[in-house]
Amino acid sequence: YVAPQPPSVKFLHFHHDWIHNTLGPLISWTTSKLAVLEDSSSAVIERAYPFSDIELKTLMGKLTALVIVIDDSMDNSAMYQELDMFSY
């Protein structure tokens, strides 16, 4: 058993700042919804890339947050079907 790495405080601060000060004003989400987005996207990165440097974690955290925003913003079932066909 290898214990997971402790969270990168520097990454978490950068990610928090980017979510709330850069991404937040661009989308119409509430502060509480942004907090959930921040927690979800940072947890994925901390778990998937435990030994990577701050630059990779920051980049992947931003991309993960954007993917979550795009996925959550799509209401059209036809669009989901088109994306599903594209993925194969």
Q: What is the residue type of 30?
A: T
Tell me if 4 is assigned to some domain. no
Tokens standing for residue 12: 């978490």
What six digits make up the tokens of 48? 């998937």
Domain housing 32: 9-87
Q: How many domains does one find in the chain?
A: 1
In-domain check, residue 67: yes
Predicted structure pTM score: 0.79
Which pLDDT does position 32 carry in this prediction?
95
> Is the residue at 1 inside a domain?
no
77 domain-assigned:
yes
Q: Over pLDDT 70: what percentage of the chain?
A: 91
pLDDT tens readout for residues 9-18: 999 999 999 9
- What is the pLDDT at residue 76? 67
Distance CA 9, CA 14 (A): 9
- Tell me whether residue 13 is in a domain: yes
pLDDT digits (tens, 9 = 90+) for 43-70: 999 999 988 999 999 999 999 999 999 8
